[in-house]
Structure 1
């Protein structure tokens, strides 16, 4: 009886060696990061309900504050409350994205996706960089939607186009810093615990600021705490760039909002970006 000879086993293909040289390693990390980001964007396109709800929620908040509460609000020094509110709402969208980042990172960890990435011959920074790119794209889209809706309810900027672009840039810079915090929390608290913590803190962080009311109307000690909230610096700086009512406080940080709107995010990135990469490399530790 004829027997078929067993086929020889296919030779194992060795994993490609990491590129040498700083420029080649940087290009390798960027390419891998974009691959991870594209995977997240594709997931959103296939299941758009969660991103759509994320866009709808700030729109509902604008409607509530403008039409339900706006009539009872006044801006110290005068000015239209809607124009005072919208820069704060833009910043709130950036803060609310923090929970989305933690949720996505925790979900990937729970499903074993993160461990799968770690077993692949890819840059150690690609997963966190890709997460950052994807979340920035999503936040930029949410910001565009809210800008359009704000225009419908009566908001507009009064400065130059360059100043307006600088204001939008500061908002995205704040989101960029918060992405790294979200990735780190998601990697450290690999489960529902991290999501619950961040979602619980989002509203206090957002409301303990100058986003909705001037800090001068708060008790002195509470107003000082709100002024030192990094979100308050971004909101005050953006209001100034947009030419919207500002009602700035008297403290040093409030009087130097534009400077601190840059310093705070850069400081947060300098702290949390290395922590994210280190934690990703040592997830089993």
Structure 2
């Protein structure tokens, strides 16, 4: 195994051990989408008109996309916590690859997110959501979600290293819950005012939510929507790759610079 792979795997193991010894954050983040599905699906589901479609079938892919965007919050909080408590400083004194530390954190988040997706999908099936397309399309939807989560976590790591304060990062993390509200995650954008619809459809979460609905066979994209939503799979890939291209080098450089 190369030095880079060994270093990244070691940091990945450290984060997985950290989650195992303090599972509270993991439990909360995994239970929240299930609670939201039950709340929105049964409380608001009777009030949202979805011609030819059940609201819960529309909501499940949207919550999956919103959960993927939650990588911003978890990445930011964990990176800020490690920076404030001096963990990052100790890592910098070791002869390891600079990218290994943030990569280990983002990879650990990806593993836990993949594991947490399983119970959420089972609850979705229990409330009436179904995969209407083939297995390959369903796997492509899950792969797209994990790619977007990975990209969002890198954005969060950069912000956490920039902030270097876990309390402030927690406050910003709570604010990130607004992002799915300004998207197509929970409601269709067709009925929104024009200016708000444009804002919502250029939100990356809208492209991901629409792509997942399309790949699962739950809904077709609106042809009159903004380009990322009208071409949701391409739009989601473009958003994810752009986030990675921008924030991977920024996060690694920020870590290497000691946050100064």
Quick check: 1:281 aligned with 2:223?
no
CA separation of 1:174 and 1:203: change in aligned 2, threshold 3 A = same
Per-residue deviation at 1:167? 0.5
Query: Counterpart in 2 of 1:268?
Result: 243
Pairwise CA distance, 1:49: 2.2
- Aligned: 1:193 with 2:168: yes
1:162 to 136, 140, 152: 136
Partner of 1:171: 145
User: Quick check: 2:214–2:221 contact (8 Å CA) kept in 1?
Assistant: no
Distance 1:284 1:167, change over 3 A: closer
Q: Indicate which of 170, 181, 189 corresponds to 1:207.
A: 181
CA contact (8 A) 1:214 1:247 kept: no
Which range moves more in the overlay, 50-59 or 218-227? 50-59
Q: 1:48 to 1:197 in 2, by over 3 A?
A: closer
CA shift, 1:157, in A, is 0.6
Unaligned runs of 5+ in 2: none
- Report if the CA contact (8 A) 1:88-1:211 is conserved: yes
Distance 1:47 1:194, change over 3 A: closer
TM-aligned CA deviation for residue 195 of structure 1: 2.9
CA drift of 1:193 comes to: 2.2
Among 201, 208, 231, which residue is 2:205 paired with? 231
CA RMSD, Structure 1 to Structure 2 (Å)? 1.4
Total equivalences in the alignment: 258
Deviation at 1:106, TM superposition (A): 1.1
3-state DSSP class of the match of 2:5? helix
1:99 equivalent in structure 2:
73
1:212-269: CA deviation from partner (whole Å, max 9, x where unpaired):
1111011011001111111111111111111103462613332111111111100110
2:9 is aligned, of 4, 25, 34, to: 34
Name the structure 2 match of 1:147: 121
Match of 1:8 in 2: none
Three-state SS of the structure 2 residue aligned to 1:216 is coil
CA radius of gyration, larger in? 1
Aligned-partner SS, 1:72: coil
The 4+ residue runs of structure 1 with deviation greater than 6 A are none
Partner of 1:110: 84
List gaps (5 residues or longer) in structure 1: 1-23
The structure 2 residue matched to 1:244, chosen from 205, 218, 221, is 218
CA contact (8 A) 1:183 1:276 kept: yes
Q: Which deviations, in whole Å up to 9, do the C-alpha atoms of 1:94-131 show, x marking residues without a partner?
A: 12232111111111112111100000111111111101
TM-score by length of 1: 0.87
Task: Please give the alpha-carbon distance, in whole angstroms, between the structure 2 residues aligned to 1:284 and 1:167.
Answer: 36
Residue 217 (structure 1) aligned with residue 191 (structure 2): yes
Whether 2:71 is the aligned partner of 1:127: answer no
Contact 2:131 2:138 in 1 (8 A): yes
